Structure 1
Amino acid sequence: MSCRTKPSRSKDFLANPDNARQLVTGAYNKNLDYETYAFSWIGVTSITSDDADKGSTPGDNGTDKHQLDNLDFVSSSLSFNEVWKSRYGGIGRANKAIFYLDQFNIDANLKSRYIGEVKFLRALWYFDLVRCFGGVPIITTEIDINDEETVNNTVYIRKSKQETYAQIESDLVDAIDRLPLKSGYAPQDLGKVTKGAAQALLAKVYLYQEKWQQAYDMAGNVITSGEYALLGDYAQVWRQVGENKSESIFEIQATLTNGITDYTNVQGPRGNPDLGWGFNTPSESLMNAYEPGDLRKEATIIFVPSVLWDGQVAPTTLTNPRYNYKAYHSSIAEDWDNNKSVTAKNVRVLKYSDLLLIRAEAAFHIGNTGEALDRINEIRNRAGLADAGAVTLQSIWKERRLEMAMEHDRWFDLVRTGQAASAMAANGKNFIVGRHEVFPIPQEQISASGGRLAQNPGYN
């Protein structure tokens, strides 16, 4: 939510066309905030799952990460509140941008593209919210914070899960019509939201709603566009050398001067040498899930002791036996200015391999097992594995786990596929069916609403 600019100031603001670009940049930059994709997001999407443990040291709880690891979800949790606040902060920026972009006297095609970029971002944040909390308040316009009636009836009233997904779909369908292909951007605009990114996110949104034919078709649009391909070396996907390359569909863009706050620092190896806080360590369950010869294992998990890809050593003086390789930022082979808190490492949000997996899962559900097998084998071959002779839903889910390990999808995949209770039980944790499918609405937000925001079932 954001309040409107005063009329006199608005006239001056609209007189400068560069302000249109700055509004869009401001929406993108919300993804760089600590509250958006760093510690809290890592906690609720990864530490909760069977892919990862809390890590760090037994005495360092990371405020509430020990609770997340134990599935002890409480409405007072800092992490849930930061996820909520950061997404609505981004949505507020998006709404403001759309409100003013309509009024700028700039090139019509550029204006339309800007609106498409911002609508994608708004859809992405709502997708995060609906996966975490279920149905949430839907705010798509500038709201005057002094308009108590509108605030009470819009900002503080939850819509249904179905209505939330409908809003996400609406934004993405519109964005698809407005955005160019990846190849249609000038080199200086590399990393901006593309038509393929909007199609990819829409395919994922369809998958989560079990709209199998639509997920299949939309993923197919991305695959047949000729804009994307798997990188030859899986290990390079999350390194600087792989940024914005053929496998990248959408990444959070980071530079040394405008980086993602503490994403790598939170997950960096802890101990001597001190490379980070040591949280979100790959679990024994994940380690044991790989087949012999799967190249993804060594590319996903830093084993202690070992020599890292850049020649650095992970010695026995580190605190934990395993760390997240995908979050590792090299201080000697990648852009580095000795600031662990803000790094130039991009965070991958949508990858081509994700789309192949979406296509495979949707294909299986509509009876096209041949297509599903082809896509799974494409991924397996890149991982150094032999073709599978047949495919099942369980084998597709397993490939998804291994391909996307430590990439913030595992918890949501367990929930949407109904595997959460059994997977958590195998890890000695109690997933409560009917409660843990969603997280609690943050108590701070319920209090701010005067009790208007309804809590999710099973939570106080």
Structure 2
Amino acid sequence: MKKIILIVFSSMLFITACEDLDQAPDNIASSNSLSNFTAVLNAAYYYQQGAATPMAVMGDFRSDNMEMREAPYTDFHTYNNNITSTMTDQFFAPIYRNLYKSILSSNNVITNSVDDLQVGEAKFLRALSYFKLVLVFGDVPVNLSATPDVNDTSILVRQPKLDVYNTVIIPDLMDAIAVLDNSAFSNGLSGEYDGRASQLAAEALLGKVYAAMGNYGNAETYLFNAISAAAGAGVTLETSFANVIEEGSSEIIFATKLTPTIDDEYDASEFSVWFNGTEDKALLPLNPSLVTAFDNAGDTSRKALSIDDSPTEMKSVKYPAGLESDWVEIRLSDVILLHAEAMNENNSDTAANILTTLDPIRTRAGLGSLSGTATTQADVKQAILDERRLELAFEGQRWFDLVRTGTVDAEMGETINNNYYVFPIPNSEILATGGVITQNPGY
């Protein structure tokens, strides 16, 4: 039975806020009438569900892994301003709206709860929310108040993404690391991960944050800390690739729990439907270049467990549980691969030793070591990027990997204006704020 974080809304928990601005949505955040903030914290987890499908689609369909084949949705992988009018409401408004709702719930817990563990979880979720917002939109508005003044337009002004990293995301994760434990990996059914934030997840996410910023020195430190702490928390590589994203996987560090029986506020089909070719906007969605990548690597095992490339199918088969699949945000393979990338960027070890750290992942896939196959820093970087593509296909990572590593043009085979490395701010937000929230350049 799935361990689902259920939200129980009762009439005493609702407050009325601004109905137009998603930075202050209707929420269960009545700080002066609550003494137990468990439901408010659960709401912060709940709203992450509405971001899962958009992150999946942006991470893979924007990249060279997947394709939309029905106009006007083909604009999603045409890098110009057409995407604004065709998909802003379907993909960008839900993630924007839900992440700010998660932030508002987190703010309430952080401000009012006296439970240090609850505050730590809320800070992790606020950091995760802002990290996703920055990856997707770049500069974003920042609100750290539990009861924002809806008449104060200053909280709607977009803040530089570097400031969001340095003043919100990093401090929140540092605080979370200081107070959280790893009981999330021992309190679930049969000892499995229960869907809560943990110290391990905060360290891993902080490493990913620093990598996204290009600060590979700090990234290496926190990713190493996460790898070192994983075994003690019971987090280990799965022996079979078939199980890496399944419920109960031993290598999941943080996942957003999903179920088709609970409305996740995303008003379109779920991510597994997009990948498996049953979404009519993305029939036969597999990009042939991903098939070629598996074949060129001789990667028959992960290929068989990830894709069906028959002429009549051309789809992902990585989510056999369909709508019962949880959205895996961080798993151990991701952290190991990113740590190797950081080591390479920092020249922390020889090429051979860095590539050897990937051997457990490669061995599980039935492949030999990459040690000795690349000697220059650039070649090692490419080898790791290629390995991430095959290991993490359909996990919402590919596009953000290309942006982070500066390899968008090389991997996509075309020159793409960096305006389109991020996505358009939802038109509804711009209109609701009278233009206080501005659009990204190029859209």
Q: TM-score, normalised by structure 1?
A: 0.79
How far apart are residue 53 of structure 1 and its match?
Answer: 1.3
Partner residue of 1:411 out of 389, 399, 403: 399
- Structure 2 counterpart of 1:300: 306
Q: 1:49 aligns with which of 63, 75, 86?
A: 63
Deviations 1:134-157 (A, max 9, x none): 1111111134454x2x2x1112x1
The answer for the alignment partner of 2:315 in structure 1 is 323
Corresponding residue for 1:376? 358
Given residue 349 of structure 1, which amino acid in structure 2 is its aligned partner? E
Task: Say if 1:103 and 1:175 are closer, same or farther in 2 by CA, change over 3 A.
Answer: same
Cα 1:145–1:49, aligned 2, differ >3 Å: closer, same or farther?
same
* Pairs within 5 Å for 1:153-192: 153-155=154-156, 157-166=157-166, 167-182=168-183, 185-187=186-188, 190-192=194-196
* Residue in 2 that maps onto 1:421: 409
Relative distance call for 1:276 and 1:417 in structure 2 (3 A) is: same
- Closer, same or farther: CA 414–41 of 1 in aligned 2, 3 Å: same
Structure 1 residues 375-434: Cα deviation after superposition (integer angstroms, max 9, x where no partner): 222221111111123341111111111111121111111122121112222xxxx54333
Deviations 1:291-314 (A, max 9, x none): 224421111102337xxxxxxxxx
**Aligned pair count?**
399
Question: Structure 1 counterpart of 2:432, which letter?
Answer: A
**What's the secondary structure of 1:359's corresponding residue?**
helix
Q: What's 2:341 paired with?
A: 361
User: Cα distance, 1:49 vs. partner?
Assistant: 0.7
* Correspondence list, 1:7-156, <5 A: 11=32, 13-15=33-35, 17=36, 20-33=37-50, 36-38=51-53, 40-55=54-69, 60-61=70-71, 64-73=72-81, 74-79=83-88, 82-100=91-109, 102-104=111-113, 111-144=115-148, 146=150, 148=151, 150=152, 152-155=153-156
Deviation at residue 232 of structure 1 after TM alignment: 0.7
d(CA) in 1 for partners of 2:221, 2:79 = 36
SS of residue in 2 equivalent to 1:251: strand
Per-residue CA shift, 1:344-365, capped at 9, x if unaligned?
A: 2211110100000111001111
Distance 2:96 2:183 in 1: 26
Instruction: Look up the SS of the partner of 2:419 in the other structure.
Output: coil
SS of 2:159 mapped into structure 1: coil
State whether residues 199 and 222 of structure 1, in contact with CA within 8 Å, keep that contact through their aligned partners in structure 2.
yes
Alignment partner of 1:246 is 2:287:
no
Say whether the 8 Å CA contact 2:123–2:173 is kept in structure 1: yes
Identify the residue that residue 456 of structure 1 maps to in structure 2: 440
Residue 255 to residue 452, structure 1, CA distance change in 2 (3 Å): closer
| Structure 1 residue corresponding to 2:416, chosen from 402, 424, 432 | 432
What residue identity is the alignment partner of 1:169? I
Q: For the Cα contact (< 8 Å) 1:329–1:345, is it kept in 2?
A: yes
RMSD over aligned Cα, in angstroms?
A: 2.8
Say if 1:191 and 1:244, in contact at 8 Å, map to a contact too: no
Deviation at 1:118, TM superposition (A): 1.9
TM-score calculated relative to the size of structure 2: 0.81
Partner SS, residue 118 of structure 1: helix
Unpaired runs of 5+ residues, structure 2, are: 1-22, 375-379
Residue 315 of structure 2 aligns to a residue in which SS?
strand
Unaligned runs of 5+ in 1: 306-315, 331-342
> Equivalent residue of 1:405, what SS?
coil
Identical aligned residues as a percent: 28
CA contact (8 A) 1:120 1:171 kept: yes
Amino acid corresponding to residue 447 of structure 1 in structure 2 = L
Answer yes or no: is the 8 Å Cα contact 2:68–2:77 preserved in 1. yes
Amino acid at match of 1:398: D
Distance 1:202 1:163 in 2: 15
Q: Which residues of 2 match residues 205-244 of structure 1 at below 5 A?
A: 205-225=209-229, 226=231, 227=233, 228-238=235-245, 242-244=246-248
Give the counterpart letter for 2:196 in structure 1: K
Alignment CA distance shift 1:431-1:372 (3 Å) = same
